[in-house]
Amino acid sequence: MRCVLLPLLCLSAAALAQTDRAGTQADSTAMLTMDAVYGRPFQQLGQGPVALGGYVEANSRYAGTDGISEGLSFQLPRLTLFVTAAVASRIKFLTEVELEEGGREINIEFASIDLGLHHLLNLRGGILMNPIGAFNQDHDGPKWEFTDRPIVATTIIPATWSNVGFGFYGKYAQGPWAWGYEAYITNGFDGSIIDNAQGRTWLPAAKENPERFEESANGMPLFTMKGTLDHHTYGELGLSWMGGVYNRFREDGLPLDKKRRVDVVALDYNATLGAHGPRLTAEHVWALVDVPETYTQQYGTRQRGGFVDVVQPLWQRTVFGWAKARVNVAARLEYADYNAGTFRETGGRIADELHGITAGVGFRPVAGTVIRANYGYVWQRDLLGNPPSRTATFTFGVASYF
């Protein structure tokens, strides 16, 4: 499937088509993925500086693997609350608090102060979402026609991946073009990414560390940088990198191990092709992890994966009194290879990979609310590449900003 996804990503970037992106001609007001956190619907509280918002997702799910199903279940994967405040001129604050799985987990995913020095130079500090790929910053459930997040964006990039740190961002627009950048240093990963209950290199394992918002696991910063280029017609293309030392290489001043790095590179693209054409969203990720040679090969040194979403509006008209109700159909292709390498013992290819396809339909009575139904099918192979387990999932859900 990676043979399909990568060319799709490249072809999409070169596609000649019309777009209905909401950007403007102004020098810093074009809306890019980096603006997603502030580009949400908020409700102003009177005349005060504070505005509130949020979204909720609720799903029902029926899944089966190789003929075995646990039946139907209902879930509330996310309830997210936003608070934003215009503190003063060119000083603003936004926080995003997410309650996952009915409140079992409560996470502050974003809580940053932004100081606007110039439209090309803004300081951001606090808990921020590392700008790696696009989905990590632009993941609100009501925006998507799919109940499940892209696999690569949650298992290789551990969306939502946010950390405490500081950095700068800025953007510039001229005519149909806009470009932006972000550069941050934050706390980062830890040794759990190669020592976890998944039994594979697993970047999301670092999210289990409850102290990561208090102190760095090893005293070394994680660098994240992203550059974005946008054209009204051709869409938005992003290239991002995130890297740093992940292991605890010293303790009490004594050396324990060499410094071992994790580096992630992502390429993302999104566009709306034509006035009524499909919306295309794609992302591809490569992760490199320095794993000791004397450790088990279960923990891969290279990972890669990607997804392509295509959402096509079917019609828009008045339905049940909603003046601009819309029905979209959607499809997603995705894959993740958690261990791109070969066995030392045999030279044979290490598998540990999955491929998935999802079809969906979404009904949007208003833009910020979606009722959606998905059918997904995933083939997953183990480390050795044995015949894949096959999982099919039906989901029906609702997601809405409020």
Where along the sequence are the contacts to another protein (CB under 8 A)?
A: 62, 64-69, 191-192, 194-199, 247, 256-257, 260, 292, 294-298, 317, 319-320, 325, 327, 343-346, 348, 351, 361, 363, 373, 375, 377, 382-387, 390-392, 394
Q: Closest CB to another protein among 106 and 384? A: 384
Q: Closest CB to another protein among 126 and 313? A: 313
Q: Closest CB to another protein among 194 and 237? A: 194
Shortest spacing between CB 393 and another protein, in angstroms? 9
| Strand-strand pairing, 353-366 and 279-289 | unpaired
Shortest spacing between CB 55 and another protein, in angstroms? 23
Alpha-carbon distance of 308 to 314, in angstroms, equals: 19
Q: Residue 303 in contact with residue 339, Cβ under 8 Å? A: yes
Q: Closest CB to another protein among 50 and 361? A: 361
Amino acid letter, residue 225: M
CA 231 to chain centre: 22
Q: What residues contact 163, with CB distance under 8 A and at least 6 apart?
A: 127, 128, 130, 186, 187, 188, 212, 213, 222
| Strand-strand pairing, 389-401 and 43-44 | unpaired
Q: Closest CB to another protein among 260 and 332? A: 260
Shortest spacing between CB 295 and another protein, in angstroms? 6
Shortest spacing between CB 322 and another protein, in angstroms? 10
Alpha-carbon distance of 127 to 198, in angstroms, equals: 27
Extract the tokens encoding 39: 């580009």
Helix or strand holding residue 11 (H, E): helix 2-14
Shortest spacing between CB 63 and another protein, in angstroms? 9
**345, 269, 347, 352: which is closest to 307 by C-alpha?**
269
Q: Closest CB to another protein among 166 and 394? A: 394
Shortest spacing between CB 326 and another protein, in angstroms? 11
- What value does the CA radius of gyration of the chain take, rounded to a whole number of Å? 21
Shortest spacing between CB 201 and another protein, in angstroms? 12
Alpha-carbon distance of 162 to 189, in angstroms, equals: 11
Q: Closest CB to another protein among 47 and 294? A: 294
Q: Closest CB to another protein among 103 and 387? A: 387
Shortest spacing between CB 47 and another protein, in angstroms? 40
CA 3 to chain centre: 22
Q: Residue 303 in contact with residue 320, Cβ under 8 Å? A: no
CA 364 to chain centre: 22
Torsion angles phi and psi, residue 34, rounded to 5: -65, -15
